Structure 1
Amino acid sequence: MKLFAWLRSSAPALDDELRQRLAALPGPAAYGVQPLREQRWVVLDLETSGLNLNRDQVLSIGAVAIEDGGIDLGRQFERTLHRPEQKTNASVLIHGLGPSALAAGSDPAEALVDLLEFIGDSPVLAFHAPFDQGMLGRALKETLGYRLQHVFIDVAELAPMLNPDTVLREAGLDDWVARFGLEVQARHHASADAQVTAELALILFSQARRQQLDSPLQLEQRLRQWRRRAVHSHGL
């Protein structure tokens, strides 16, 4: 009996409106065969309290949509989450989210449902996507009891796969931004990083089409092959 009581007490308490909005969400789509220009993508970036997937928290979310082959400037997503318990640490020096900003942030449950509605059934792009996918997945589970099932493509893998002649050791987003000469007004804010990642993704999609990769499914299949070759070349 004590075990069942603990399970009930640990379940997220959501109001009826949030439950209804969660129930109305579309199921995530699989990788499609439509041309890249016809696919709607959501480019995601998170600012977090640190890099520990099991302990740290999502503090801020930025996302932009790519539709019809371009960034939809009229539909951008940005939320800072209400985290008044978050202590100031070294990450604040990077993203600038101090106690006052976190205390004035949005209710995490409301913000995360807003994000899921913004994403819809679209595949998600992110730079170092496994980290964003893991952090977001844990936040959704703990806050909403929701299991993240959307497909993610890692722009940090897509860039070197499509540019094998470019040698950048452990390249970060700034390295690829410099490689393609993109102008960046700001960095290390979730919305700004999502915007520049989307601009980089559009360049990579153009390269992919020139390499006869013109659907999300083809990109994903080529990425799997690229990963296997990378593992084999390192003797793992």
Structure 2
Amino acid sequence: MLRTLRRVVDRHRHAHGRYGWLFHPYTGEELVALAVQDTGGEARLAEPLVIAAVRLRGDRVLTSESLELRLAPSAGLDADTIRHHGLRGIDLADGVAMDQALIGLLDFVGNRPLVSWRLDRELAVLNRPLRRQLGFELPNAGIDLAQLYQRRQRHHHPQLEPVAPFARAAERLGVPVMGRHSALGTAVTTALMHLRLARDAASTRHSG
């Protein structure tokens, strides 16, 4: 409810601004799989380290139309935190500033629907700096892949635990985990998992 209210207020405030078009309903056929590597811990405190996205069109993952933005380390971000996430200081040394990264993400994603594993967390990590820098949160429609997967498991395999880690869920869906410890690899894997779940759902409907 609160998110819906914020979206209405943001749409009103930014209707005639540079990003007013983001608040228009999307009428195309593409989705964007989103992945964020962050500093961990509570989402309300986590900071993004790498933002990645890849577009889907129909039953294809458009790996040639992808985005990976490494952010310059914020003040106080220590080397141990960076190494913990499979990165090195040199990986982020030439990273882009937060405002540039957010603009790059908005330009790439547009108003397309988002697909992500645990979408709420990804949005929480991104929306805080977005509101701080640009005055609004991502208004895009979204699909939480973790929730879709859990519903599938309850239907097909009720004896298995419904909540599974990302890599285990990919394995059960027969999807290879691309580029482990890579935000872009996670985004591509997410896109492939979404296509697999969509095919399963379509098959179930047709057989029913």
Query: Conserved in 1, the CA contact under 8 Å of 2:150 and 2:163?
Result: no
- Out of 51, 69, 76, the position equivalent to 1:61 is 51
In structure 2, the gaps of 5 or more residues are 1-16
- Out of 136, 151, 155, the position equivalent to 2:141 is 151
- Out of 166, 187, 195, the position equivalent to 1:194 is 187
Partner of 2:156: 165
Shift of 1:28: 3.8
Query: Conserved in 1, the CA contact under 8 Å of 2:63 and 2:188?
Result: no
Shift of 1:139: 1.9
Count of equivalent residues = 187
C-alpha change, 1:43 and 1:142, in structure 2 (3 Å) is same
CA RMSD of aligned residues (A): 2.4
Shift of 1:125: 0.6
Provide the C-alpha distance between the structure 1 equivalents of 2:70 and 2:20, rounded to a whole number of angstroms.
22
After TM superposition, the structure 1 stretch with the greater mean CA deviation from structure 2, 67-76 or 176-185, is 176-185
**What do residues 3-31 of structure 1 show as CA deviations (whole Å, max 9, x unaligned)?**
xxxxxxxxxxxxxxxxxxx7056224558
In structure 1, the gaps of 5 or more residues are 1-21, 33-37, 214-236
Counterpart amino acid of residue 73 in structure 1: T
Which structure has the greater CA radius of gyration?
Answer: 1
**Identity, % of aligned positions:** 25
Query: Conserved in 1, the CA contact under 8 Å of 2:26 and 2:111?
Result: no
Partner of 2:95: 105
**What do residues 149-181 of structure 1 show as CA deviations (whole Å, max 9, x unaligned)?**
112211001112134222235201111111122
Partner of 1:122: 112
C-alpha change, 1:31 and 1:111, in structure 2 (3 Å) is closer
C-alpha change, 1:120 and 1:76, in structure 2 (3 Å) is same
TM-score, with length taken from structure 1? 0.71
Counterpart amino acid of residue 164 in structure 2: A
| Residue 27 (1) aligns with residue 18 (2) | no
C-alpha change, 1:147 and 1:64, in structure 2 (3 Å) is same
Counterpart amino acid of residue 39 in structure 1: E
SS at match of 2:143: strand
Partner of 1:87: 78
Shift of 1:131: 0.2
Provide the C-alpha distance between the structure 2 equivalents of 1:41 and 1:82, rounded to a whole number of angstroms.
27
Counterpart amino acid of residue 87 in structure 1: D
SS at match of 2:181: coil
SS at match of 1:27: helix
Could you list the structure 1 runs, at least 4 aligned residues long, displaced by more than 3 angstroms after superposition.
28-32
